[in-house]
């Protein structure tokens, strides 16, 4: 009888199951009310006294082995079921991943960079927190110059010489200080001005400014460069340059592109004139070249600058500049098909 029980112990230890039903059948077989263990316990009274101790020990060993086997099999099956629930059927197609989109400001900025890169302009960058020299003084705007009032500035309270840059012309100053002509660079970046936020203006916006310095650079070179840009970005081949004033260029001009009057929208955004202002430009003032260590008698150059938000508003017919900064997915998802 003892040998028979030991045989069952070996059978219990080697038992394997793939389903919960098999484990339950095994449990009933050994641990149920009518199971094998109950039968052996019933036989205990018929065992000779000298064998009862060993017989009892073997029965308890069988009971312990059977219970341990049931517990381990259940735990293993539950673990497998949990992993399957987490990962699912690995052969099934994956859930579709929603494609993101570039911000319209990034789209337009990249288009502008690509256009000027095609004609030899590189990209230069600089700090957003600037000092007075690079943001104003080197650009022909000495202290107390009245033209400083054209740009309401965020100054750092603890140090009035440090400010948030009001234009990316400061990047051009740094570039001229560290590079000798010929220079052909554009400076895209974020700028800050202490202005009231409205549908047409914001205290934070983005600019792209360009600079070309070499020998015998003329205003005609500037005009042809801008004409090339407007043809590439807008598909427009008619521009005009109106006299204007900028402290760091002389002569200076505002650039208008002829948008046309083909639709009601054209009449509205051009106020019935067909013309749209897109940027400012001019020949670099000799004082600026001198401040940056470049001989104005040997070199000349031109500069231009435009607001990326303004260009984006024209291209995508966006009427409120605040939409660029509100992170509204309903607005941003419209640009998924853009570059």
pLDDT tens, per residue, the chain with 339 residues: 676 767 767 777 777 777 888 878 878 877 777 777 777 677 766 777 777 777 677 777 877 877 887 788 888 877 776 555 555 666 777 777 777 788 999 999 999 999 999 999 999 999 999 999 999 999 988 777 666 666 678 888 788 789 999 999 999 999 999 999 999 999 999 999 888 888 888 889 999 999 999 999 999 999 999 999 999 999 988 999 999 999 899 999 999 999 988 888 888 888 899 999 999 999 999 999 999 999 999 999 999 999 999 999 988 888 889 999 988 888 888 887 665
The span from the CA of 215 to the CA of 291, in Å, is 18
pLDDT for the residue numbered 301: 96
225: which residues sit within 8 A by CB, 6+ positions away?
Answer: 119, 210, 212, 302, 304
The alpha-helical segments, DSSP class H, found in the chain are: 2-14, 20-31, 36-43, 49-87, 104-117, 132-135, 169-178, 219-234, 264-269, 286-291, 308-316, 329-332
pTM of the predicted model as reported, rounded to 2 decimal places: 0.69
189: Cβ contacts below 8 Å, ≥ 6 apart: 125, 126, 128, 165, 168, 171, 206, 207
What is the end-to-end Cα distance of the chain in Å, rounded? Answer: 83
């Amino acid at each position: 009888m003892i040998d028979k029980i030991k045989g069952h112990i070996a059978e219990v230890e080697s038992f394997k199951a793939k389903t919960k039903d098999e484990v339950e059948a095994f449990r009933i077989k050994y641990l149920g009310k009518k199971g094998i263990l109950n039968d052996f316990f019933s036989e205990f009274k018929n065992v000779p006294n000298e064998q009862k101790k060993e017989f009892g020990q073997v029965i308890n060993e069988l009971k312990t082995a059977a219970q341990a086997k049931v517990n381990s099999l259940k735990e293993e099956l539950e673990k497998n079921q949990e992993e399957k629930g987490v990962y699912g059927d690995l052969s099934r197609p994956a859930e579709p991943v929603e494609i993101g989109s570039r911000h319209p400001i990034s789209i337009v900025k990249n288009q502008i960079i690509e256009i000027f890169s095609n004609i030899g302009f590189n990209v230069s960058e600089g700090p957003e927190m600037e000092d007075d020299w690079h943001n104003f003084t080197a650009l022909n705007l000495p202290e107390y110059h009245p033209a400083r009032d054209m740009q309401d500035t965020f100054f750092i309270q603890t140090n009035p010489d440090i400010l948030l840059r009001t234009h990316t012309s400061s990047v051009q100053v740094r570039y001229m200080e560290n590079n000798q002509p010929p220079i052909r660079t554009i400076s895209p970046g974020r700028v800050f001005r202490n202005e009231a936020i409205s549908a047409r203006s914001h205290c934070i916006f983005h600019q792209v400014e360009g600079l070309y310095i070499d020998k015998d650079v003329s205003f005609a070179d500037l005009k042809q460069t801008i004409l090339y840009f407007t043809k590439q970005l807008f598909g427009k081949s008619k521009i005009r340059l109106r006299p204007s004033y900028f402290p760091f260029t002389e002569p200076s001009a505002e650039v208008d592109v002829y948008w046309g009057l083909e639709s009601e929208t054209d009449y509205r955004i051009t106020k019935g004139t067909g013309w749209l202002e897109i940027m400012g430009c001019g020949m670099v003032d000799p004082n600026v070249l001198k401040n940056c260590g470049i001989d104005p008698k040997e070199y000349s150059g031109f500069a231009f600058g435009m607001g990326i938000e303004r260009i984006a508003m024209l291209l995508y017919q966006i009427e409120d500049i605040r939409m660029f900064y509100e992170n509204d997915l309903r607005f941003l998802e419209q640009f998924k098909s853009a570059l």
